[in-house]
């Protein structure tokens, strides 16, 4: 039958077609795809480092459970971001190609217990993520891949800038309280524990929160009677 033959012809044509290419725009180049996979790798390396730091904080010789909660949350976020970006990669017609992860060659100091070096590693880790995001953004702009630029800007860049500042502030606070060994670290860890691993001063570094507070103050002034 003519209709059946035409259907069989169409089925054969689409069976042999690379459907992934239908999802892939011309701006999502091979170089951009490789760069996205590179950032997924960076997120997973960071996840492994934070997992190591969180586990070390739970050791009885260290017992810094507030810092442990902070590192645990950071690890979960890195893994979540890696998974999100991997799904985005597939959505754009790319492929997942896992790579070997570098094992953290690092031990949390326990004699004496001192979080300064681990926190310095954490600051470097957050800055590497930000630098890699900016590199990926620059490459996406060069390729004209504006949908990737929008995704990076909306989900990653703002919060990552915030993370770098928060972690650097925590490093400075730790250096400050470490001038009195033991006692200061105990109180800082307790603050982190009470905040469930969140930065107690996190909103202070958020421009949106500051802008909202200013708007509230201006609104109250507008309502005030002179």
What pLDDT score was predicted for residue 226? 45
Band the pLDDT of 164: cuts 50, 70, 90: very high
What pLDDT score was predicted for residue 153? 94
Residue 117 CA: distances (Å) to CA of 123, 149, 175, 214: 10, 34, 10, 37
Q: Would the annotation count 16 as a binding residue?
A: no
> How many CA within 13 A on the CB side of residue 224?
7
What pLDDT score was predicted for residue 47? 97
| Mean of pLDDT over the chain | 86
Q: Would the annotation count 191 as a binding residue?
A: no
Q: Would the annotation count 160 as a binding residue?
A: yes
Give the other-Cβ count within 10 Å of 166's Cβ: 20
Is pLDDT above 90 for 213?
no
Domains with residue ranges and CATH for the chain: 24-201 (1.20.1260.10)
> If you ran DSSP here, which 8-state letter would residue 112 be given?
T
What pLDDT score was predicted for residue 38? 96
| pLDDT, tens only, 177-209 | 887 666 889 999 999 999 999 988 777 777 766
Range of 13-27, 63-77, 93-107, 189-203 with top mean pLDDT? 63-77
What residues have CB less than 8 Å from 223, skipping those under 6 apart? none
Upstream peptide bond of 210 is cis (omega within 30 degrees of 0): no
């Amino acid at each position: 039958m003519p209709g059946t033959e035409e259907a069989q012809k169409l089925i054969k044509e689409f069976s042999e077609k690379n459907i992934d290419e239908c999802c892939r725009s011309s701006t999502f180049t091979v170089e951009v795809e490789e760069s996205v996979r590179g950032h997924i790798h960076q997120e997973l390396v960071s996840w492994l480092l934070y997992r190591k730091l969180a586990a070390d904080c739970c050791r009885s010789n260290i017992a810094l459970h507030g810092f442990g909660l902070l590192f645990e949350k950071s690890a979960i976020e890195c893994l979540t971001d890696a998974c999100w970006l991997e799904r985005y990669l597939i959505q754009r017609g790319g492929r997942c190609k896992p790579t070997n992860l570098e094992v953290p060659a690092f031990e949390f100091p326990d004699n004496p217990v001192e979080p300064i070096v681990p926190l310095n590693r954490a600051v470097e880790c957050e800055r590497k993520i930000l630098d890699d995001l900016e590199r990926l953004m620059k490459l996406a702009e060069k390729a004209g891949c504006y949908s990737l630029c929008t995704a990076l800007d909306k989900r990653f860049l703002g919060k990552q800038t915030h993370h770098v500042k928060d972690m650097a502030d925590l490093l400075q606070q730790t250096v400050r309280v470490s001038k009195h060994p033991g006692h200061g670290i105990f109180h800082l860890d307790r603050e982190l524990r009470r905040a469930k691993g969140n930065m107690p001063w996190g909103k202070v570094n958020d421009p949106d929160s500051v802008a909202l507070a200013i708007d509230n103050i201006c609104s109250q002034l507008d309502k005030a009677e002179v």
